[in-house]
Amino acid sequence: MDTDPLSTLEKLPNLTILVLDEHCFTGVKLTCHAMGFPKLKSLYIGYSANLEMWDVENGAMPHLCYLTIYNCAILKMIPDGLRFLTSLEELVIRRMPEEFVIRVEVCADGEEGEDFDKIRHIPDVLIQ
């Protein structure tokens, strides 16, 4: 599917788990709109070979607790809007490009990646 499926899925009032995996989305941009996904607790985004950009608007996914991003070979950066997801307890980043990982990790010398401030509030961040 080339069109962003989130604009439809985010309107499902009782959706609590969403897995966007291989062949679910072949477009280049996803957007989570404000007020979207009112009860979503877990989101998994992976194997999206064409995904370059993901936007999360303030007010989207207000109850998201668990987020996993994996195998999105050309996703450039973590969404700015992750900083608004104050209920997020766990972020897993798995098998992502080195450039993506460098932007969110803290180096051995304590230097923070340029996007670390977007995930600083998340208690459990796992990068594999």
User: pLDDT at position 2, please?
Assistant: 61
What is the residue-level pLDDT of the chain in tens, covering all 128 positions? 567 889 899 999 999 999 998 777 778 999 999 999 999 999 999 998 889 999 999 999 999 999 999 999 999 899 999 999 999 999 999 999 999 999 999 887 888 999 999 999 999 999 99
Single out the residue of 101, 32, 44, 37 nearest to residue 68, CA to CA.
Answer: 44
pLDDT for residue 1: 54
Strand partners, 54: 30
Contact call for residues 113 and 102 (beta carbons, < 8 A): yes
pTM of the complete model beyond 0.85: yes
CB atoms under 10 Å from CB of 111, counted, come to 9
CATH of the domain spanning 6-127, picked from 1.10.3470, 3.40.50, 3.80.10, 1.20.1070: 3.80.10
